[in-house]
Structure 1
Amino acid sequence: MTVSTSTGVTSTTRTAVLWVPDWPVVAAIAAGQAEPHHPAAVHDGRRVTTVSALARAQGVRRGMRRRQAQECCPELVLLPVDEGRDARAFEPVAAAAETVVAGLEVARPGLLLLPAGGASRFHGSEEALAEALVGRVAERTGHECLVGVADGVLAAVLAARTSSIVASARTHAFLAPLPVDELVHAATEGGAVTEVAGLVDLLHRLGLRTLGDLVALPAADVEARFGRLGAWAHRLARGEDVRPPVRRRLEPDVEVGCELDPPAERVDAAAFAARRLAEQLQAVLLERSVSCGRLRITARTDAGEELVRTWRTDAGGLGGLSPARITDRVRWQLEGWLSGSAVTGAGAGAGAGAGTPAPAALVRLGIAAEEVAPAGAEQGRLWGGASGGDLRAHRALLRVQGLLGGDGVLVARLQGGRDVRDQVHLVPWGDAQAPVRAVDRPWPGRLPEPAPATVLVEPAPVEVLDSAGDPVRVDARLTMSAPPASVRWPDETQALAAWAGPWPMVERWWTPAPQRRVHLQAALADGRALLLAFSGGRWTCEAVYD
């Protein structure tokens, strides 16, 4: 829970908290960044934020500086803060908990807030609920966790740290003797933790050592002296909630399908079945009042091969996507599948011409709505929703795609590669397929940032000259004969104001015909910036920078 600015009265909720101790270190070990038998700690560049049990046994504590921590434990493995890694690794834990309790809030990676009222009645008692959560997480993820139950978030978080259950009548008695330092555990974001730590330090200097000392002060006086942060701390110390819990509820994917008997070998026969499925899918979505972000089309051939393709829906949600538009997307995909370009039959080539594979028949067709969410609950764009012009453009693209087919409208996507042309991947508009080459691979020899704004369709031949007016050449070692001074086109010559490189690149060096190229970034005297390339004994202009 982050520090809230609300001071309105909210009811206290019976809350269960599932806590995996030292989660950032556990996530790093699971990602292979550290060994389980080595002491480890997570460091944010200034101080230690999380400590493993082995490091804690050797005296390393949260808040220590790097050198101080390494003095306590010379073999300490220091890991960087990685919130993305922590969140990704924690998702299986949250999914396991959701099989026991419907609806939960991920306060931070490693800490879950769950409603305990209905869940404890379903499982028989709060003790049984805690046992079920611990067992299910251990069974599905292999991680050990602690569960605590109490009234209010702060009491539940602190109860989880001791794996205890606090009765409603004992909440105040449980919190009163605890030091005010425990307030830090109720703040989850980095900025909030810093603010609460400052408040705790101020309370210590004023002689307020325990939560009971803070609660003994009138709430109005605390808010007047310490502001919204003091009011937040006072409410938590009283065992109250500062806001209702925000629990996520994952909507299941909606899927419809049918068997094709006899198997469909023509597009019109499969499209007729797809139309019925599209109407069924939309009816189910409307009945549940949900929308979707993606459509997954699946088919199975008579040879047993599974074919899958995913399309983004227009404007990020189902919106105006009618059964006819769903059918269009299925039909475009079926045209590719049944044409033989994607799959071939078991007897391909037996009765077909040389080099022309026989198309495979489809025996099953399915359509699934993914990223399902309550209608109207989609998150808006950073700068607002789609404008009227955007929506008109989407409708126009849909009409053009309906006339020309799925491959009639292509958009550029970024993919992995070394050359600027290799990094551009054209896909049908609305297609959610993954790039052919992953962007996050190392790609040695790739041009440094920034990337050029415009890549020319056909590279323009140019000449690169040195200060004496002689052509600049590149030898077998991929080094230039002289520093470049100007660039000449057939109709003009421009002096260079600056240049960077050369950036040598050798691809497929193990083949009889390796590709050797040198890139040069050049800033002209008139303000333009170009990406030049030398290959095959000549210079070309490949792209233009903004």
Structure 2
Amino acid sequence: MQAPTRSLVLWFPDWPITAFAREASSPPRDDAPVAVFANNVVVACSAVARAHGVRRGQRRRDAQALCPTLVVIAADPVRDARVFGPVVARIEDHAPGVQVVRPGLCALRARGPARYYGGEAEAARTLIDLLTADGFFGVRASVADGIFTAGHAARAASSDEPVRVVPPGDAASFLAPLSVAALDDDEMASLLARLGVHTLGAFAAMPVERVLERFGPRGARLHALAGGRDSRPVEPRIPPPELHRDVAFEPPLDLADQVAFGVRVAAEEFIARLGAQNLVCTELRVVLSGERGERSERVWLHPGSFDAAAVVDRVRWQLAEDGQGIFGSGVAGVHIAPEAVDDAAHHSKGLFGAGPDERVHHALSRVQAMLGHRGVVTPTIGGGRWLAERQVLVPWGDRAVTAKDRTRPWPGSLPDPLPATVYPEPRLVEVTDIAGAPVTVGERDALSAPPAVLVTGEQRRRILEWAGPWPISERGWDPLRRRRAHRFQVVDADGGAWLLVVEEGEWRAEGRYD
């Protein structure tokens, strides 16, 4: 078996909380108890939350019972990895060869940094000082034989002494008092506990032949870890290519056309770098920086893939939409970076030329480039209770996501299928009973009589079938904006199906099923 490699590990405690705070527009206060949940189970919590008794593995209701003011955050592994990427790149600037074990934990071979900085402990302290200067407080570091031992040594470090060095050959004695739960294998830890083996030292003392017979190669692997014989070498990641581009303006520019002209070369280089990696950009992040520290950041989508002209257009549109109210001074810099990329082979032209969809896309994109971002829009269905407010126009190329998300609960909203014709303003109609008297709805949703006739304009339609009423109640707490209405579906003698609404005794047609 290969001898363990001296490994330097950097551990960022409670990284999911740090990642959320780095990206959130309004991060929680430092003294607020925070916990990250996955499937209603705590996966990470802040020191303040731990002081209230919150622990990893607790259910949400138990954690909130212990700490009613707990700030709840949903787990997001993508966010954790995205925020950790620049941190790893920063470490690589001073100590290359970093392996990302998981977001918030990375390792590198200790030999090179120790020689450069004058010792293992000195190298670890130098990296901690570097990260502290970048705003990452509380980072722990350790050096030991193997990544497994070094990882647990980092957790054993304290805020007073954030660096823990386990001398060569002492890995087994360091790990011996730790619980078998440190193996991060719940099934094996439970089985060993039932056998009376509660520490890594006791597990390591078992004969390797018996462990192999009883638990197989997996057990033998965990047995080696418990004994400090971590044979895994540090596998440095391959740094991703730098695809982003930054443009600085000195002096700052005031006109959008000047800024767009200034980023044209950068946009061409940006697309060329993607092309060299056989990639295309489908989502683009544009960050505009003002002379006085103002900032405008937005992610732009594209129905196909961006070219240089489309990148320049997005910069111009962002200045037109956001910059006017944000920048009281000139634009000092522009940052463009790919938010999402795709294989270029998926966007290559067909053998026999572009299809109709692609021709439509090019035509709409050219019109949009001339008229602006909101010059070409497409209809989509949003959330809401009333049909007219559910019709949302989305700029061409944007994702069909609105402020009123369809996935949110909308009590009283109409389920599918929806009417094909929706009137922007509901049309006034009359609904009467067989005797010609208006049909009304009482306080207990009871009808005065069955609907028999529908009057639309000068036409009288006999109602064959009807269903309802379905009540809609909005803003009952607001005396000025409260609404209470009832919906009906009716079918007339001509085969037409209508969606009707009665509110305060007045009947209106909200839509029609064509």
Q: TM-score, normalised by structure 1?
A: 0.60
The answer to whether the 8 A contact 1:232-1:242 is kept is: no
> 2:439 and 2:174 mapped to 1: Cα distance?
80
Counterpart residue number, 2:219: 230
Aligned partner (choices 225, 230, 246) of residue 255 of structure 1: 246
Counterpart residue number, 1:396: 360
> 2:285 and 2:43 mapped to 1: Cα distance?
42
Alpha-carbon distance, 1:385 to partner: 10
The answer to whether the 8 A contact 2:279-2:341 is kept is: yes
Alpha-carbon distance, 1:113 to partner: 1.9
Deviations 1:283-334, CA, capped at 9 Å, x for gaps: 4544677654316396999xx999987532444x55xx3x455566678x49
> 1:530 and 1:244 mapped to 2: Cα distance?
66
Answer yes or no: is 1:240 the counterpart of 2:231. Answer: yes
Alpha-carbon distance, 1:201 to partner: 1.5
> 2:120 and 2:497 mapped to 1: Cα distance?
67
Counterpart residue number, 2:188: 199
The answer to whether the 8 A contact 2:245-2:266 is kept is: no
Counterpart residue number, 1:422: 389
Aligned partner (choices 195, 200, 203) of residue 211 of structure 1: 200
Aligned partner (choices 149, 154, 162) of residue 155 of structure 1: 149
Q: Compared with structure 1, are the counterparts of its residues 540 and 442 closer, same or farther at alpha carbon in structure 2 (3 Å cutoff)?
A: same
The answer to whether the 8 A contact 1:14-1:150 is kept is: yes
Q: Compared with structure 1, are the counterparts of its residues 17 and 396 closer, same or farther at alpha carbon in structure 2 (3 Å cutoff)?
A: same
The answer to whether the 8 A contact 1:464-1:486 is kept is: yes
Alpha-carbon distance, 1:155 to partner: 1.4
Please tell me the residue identity of whatever aligns with 2:170: R
Deviations 1:25-58, CA, capped at 9 Å, x for gaps: 9989x988899498x9888899876677688779
Counterpart residue number, 1:539: 508
Deviations 1:87-110, CA, capped at 9 Å, x for gaps: 8689767755653446563725xx
> 1:294 and 1:341 mapped to 2: Cα distance?
16
Counterpart residue number, 1:182: 182
Q: In the comparison of the two structures, how many residue pairs are matched? A: 477
Deviations 1:235-272, CA, capped at 9 Å, x for gaps: 5433234995768858463134778999979x8x9987
Alpha-carbon distance, 1:126 to partner: 3.5
Counterpart residue number, 2:473: 503
SS in 1 for 2:509: strand
Alpha-carbon distance, 1:397 to partner: 1.0
> 2:470 and 2:387 mapped to 1: Cα distance?
16
> 1:463 and 1:469 mapped to 2: Cα distance?
10
Please tell me the residue identity of whatever aligns with 2:106: L
Q: Compared with structure 1, are the counterparts of its residues 60 and 296 closer, same or farther at alpha carbon in structure 2 (3 Å cutoff)?
A: closer
Please tell me the residue identity of whatever aligns with 1:206: L
SS in 2 for 1:99: helix
Answer yes or no: is 1:99 the counterpart of 2:90. Answer: yes
> 1:260 and 1:35 mapped to 2: Cα distance?
38
> 1:132 and 1:9 mapped to 2: Cα distance?
29
The answer to whether the 8 A contact 2:244-2:337 is kept is: yes
Counterpart residue number, 1:359: none
SS in 2 for 1:155: helix
Please tell me the residue identity of whatever aligns with 1:148: S
Q: CA RMSD in A?
A: 6.3
Counterpart residue number, 2:423: 458
Counterpart residue number, 1:352: none
> 1:263 and 1:419 mapped to 2: Cα distance?
43
Counterpart residue number, 1:520: 487
> 2:65 and 2:491 mapped to 1: Cα distance?
53
Deviations 1:343-371, CA, capped at 9 Å, x for gaps: 69xxxxxxxxxxxxxxxxx9979875323
Alpha-carbon distance, 1:172 to partner: 3.8
Answer yes or no: is 1:165 the counterpart of 2:165. Answer: yes
Counterpart residue number, 2:286: 296
Alpha-carbon distance, 1:162 to partner: 0.8
Please tell me the residue identity of whatever aligns with 1:402: R
> 2:57 and 2:254 mapped to 1: Cα distance?
66
Give 1:88-127 correspondences, 5 Å limit.
99-101=90-92, 105=100, 107=102, 111-117=104-110, 123-127=117-121
The answer to whether the 8 A contact 1:120-1:129 is kept is: yes
> 2:105 and 2:240 mapped to 1: Cα distance?
14
Q: Compared with structure 1, are the counterparts of its residues 544 and 284 closer, same or farther at alpha carbon in structure 2 (3 Å cutoff)?
A: same
Please tell me the residue identity of whatever aligns with 1:157: G
Percentage identity across paired residues of the two chains: 26
> 2:87 and 2:133 mapped to 1: Cα distance?
9
Alpha-carbon distance, 1:200 to partner: 0.9
> 1:480 and 1:20 mapped to 2: Cα distance?
57
Aligned partner (choices 7, 28, 41) of residue 14 of structure 1: 7
SS in 1 for 2:75: helix
The answer to whether the 8 A contact 2:53-2:66 is kept is: no
SS in 2 for 1:159: helix
What residue ranges of structure 1 are gaps of 5+ in the alignment? 1-7, 185-195, 345-361
Counterpart residue number, 2:122: 128
Q: Compared with structure 1, are the counterparts of its residues 42 and 369 closer, same or farther at alpha carbon in structure 2 (3 Å cutoff)?
A: closer
The answer to whether the 8 A contact 1:235-1:241 is kept is: no
The answer to whether the 8 A contact 2:10-2:107 is kept is: yes
> 2:199 and 2:41 mapped to 1: Cα distance?
26
Q: Compared with structure 1, are the counterparts of its residues 138 and 366 closer, same or farther at alpha carbon in structure 2 (3 Å cutoff)?
A: closer
Please tell me the residue identity of whatever aligns with 2:219: G
> 1:467 and 1:421 mapped to 2: Cα distance?
31
The answer to whether the 8 A contact 1:453-1:543 is kept is: no
Counterpart residue number, 2:160: none
Answer yes or no: is 1:370 the counterpart of 2:337. Answer: yes
Q: Compared with structure 1, are the counterparts of its residues 456 and 469 closer, same or farther at alpha carbon in structure 2 (3 Å cutoff)?
A: same
Alpha-carbon distance, 1:472 to partner: 4.4
> 1:297 and 1:34 mapped to 2: Cα distance?
26
